[in-house]
C-alpha cells in the first residue's frame, strides 16, 4: 500500500514509510492509563501522512528511519488523516536501500 491510497476509512493498513520529522513526546491519559505519544511526519514517493507513535515505538525511531506499519488504521484527528498501529498493529524498523530518501520525499511533497 502507498500513502496516496489511504483514505479516512482505511483499515488493516500495511505500509512502508520514511520518518521525515518527529514532534516532541507528550504524556497523555488514556482509558488504559498513562501513555507517551509523539506524532511523526512520514511518507513515501506518493505522499506524506502523520503517524502516531506510542510508548516504546517512540524510542525505536529517529528522523530518516524506515518503518513498516502492519495492521494499522487511519483516524481523523483535528481534520487531518493520521495513521496509527493502535493496539493490534505493529511498527518495526526495516532496512530498505531502494526506498526513497528523506530529501527525495520532501522535494516531491513540500509543505505536506
Which segments of the chain have a pLDDT < 70? 111-112
| Residue 31 domain-assigned (yes or no) | yes
Tell me, what CATH number does 83's domain have? 2.40.50.140
Total residues found in the chain within this entry: 112
| Residue 10 domain-assigned (yes or no) | yes
| Residue 112 domain-assigned (yes or no) | no
pLDDT in tens, 72-101: 999 998 899 999 998 899 999 999 999 999
pTM of the model: 0.92
From residue 1, how far is each of 5, 28, 72, 100 by CA, in Å?
Answer: 7, 30, 11, 15
| Residue 111 domain-assigned (yes or no) | no
State the pLDDT at residue 102: 93
State the pLDDT at residue 87: 85
Closest residue by Cα to residue 83 from 97, 73, 91: 73
| Residue 90 domain-assigned (yes or no) | yes
State the pLDDT at residue 42: 98
| Residue 100 domain-assigned (yes or no) | yes
State the pLDDT at residue 45: 96
Domain range for residue 57?
Answer: 3-106
| Residue 55 domain-assigned (yes or no) | yes
Number of folded domains that form the chain: 1
State the pLDDT at residue 99: 97
State the pLDDT at residue 112: 61
Amino acid at each position: 500500500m502507498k500513502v496516496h491510497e489511504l483514505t479516512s476509512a482505511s483499515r488493516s493498513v500495511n505500509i512502508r514509510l520514511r520518518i521525515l520529522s518527529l514532534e516532541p513526546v507528550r504524556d497523555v491519559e488514556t482509558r488504559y492509563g498513562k501513555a507517551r505519544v509523539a506524532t511523526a511526519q512520514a511518507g513515501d514517493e506518493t505522499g506524506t501522512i502523520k503517524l502516531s507513535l506510542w510508548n516504546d515505538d517512540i524510542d525505536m525511531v529517529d528522523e530518516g528511519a524506515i518503518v513498516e506499519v502492519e495492521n494499522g488504521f487511519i483516524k481523523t484527528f483535528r481534520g487531518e488523516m493520521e495513521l496509527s498501529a493502535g493496539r493490534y498493529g505493529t511498527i518495526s524498523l526495516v532496512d530498505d536501500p531502494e526506498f526513497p530518501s528523506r530529501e527525495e520525499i520532501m522535494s516531491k511533497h513540500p509543505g505536506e
